[in-house]
A = this chain, B = another copy of it.
Amino acid sequence: MSAKQTWFIPDCYWPEGGTDAPYVSHEAICVLNPSDQDAALQITLYFEDREPMTGFAAVCGARRTHHVRMDRQKSAAGQTVPRGVPYAAVVRSSVPVYVQYSRCDTTQADMAFLSVIPQSE
């Protein structure tokens, strides 16, 4: 079984500014849960110059996908993802899932994409 409970994304970045349409600058941690149990997700953020931020949570239901938009996330303490600074993320899931990380940057007139399947364990 290649589904995993922990995923590691070294290159996260929420671009500052950008267009409003068709897309805003954003990152998505895309989760696929083909199992029959809901997946509770805990996301920890790592930075270059301070201790990690915890308290970001999401759910991906059984037989569902959830493209978790990091620009819309709020932590339990009401914090949003810091913008314009390099960070990394670790995703922990209560059941094995599949994860893909994608970024859309629209800070120039036309957009650029990147996407990876993170390391897992």
Binding site for B on A (CB under 8 A): 1-3, 8-11, 13, 15-17, 22-23, 28, 30-34, 46-49, 51-52, 63-67, 86-88, 90, 98-100, 102-105, 107-121
Contact = CB atoms under 8 A, between A and B. Distances in A.
Question: What number of copies of this chain does the assembly contain?
Answer: 4
A119 B16 CA distance: 31
Given A10-B99, A31-B10, A118 B117 contact: yes
A47 B65 CA distance: 5
Given A10-B99, A107-B22, A113-B112, A46 B32 contact: yes
A121 B30 CA distance: 19
A111 B114 contact: no
A3 to B, nearest CB: 8
Given A65-B88, A105-B113, A109-B110, 4 more contacts: A30-B88, A46-B63, A48-B64, A117-B119
Given A48-B66, A65-B87, A117 B114 contact: no
Nearest to A22: B107
A121 B46 CA distance: 23
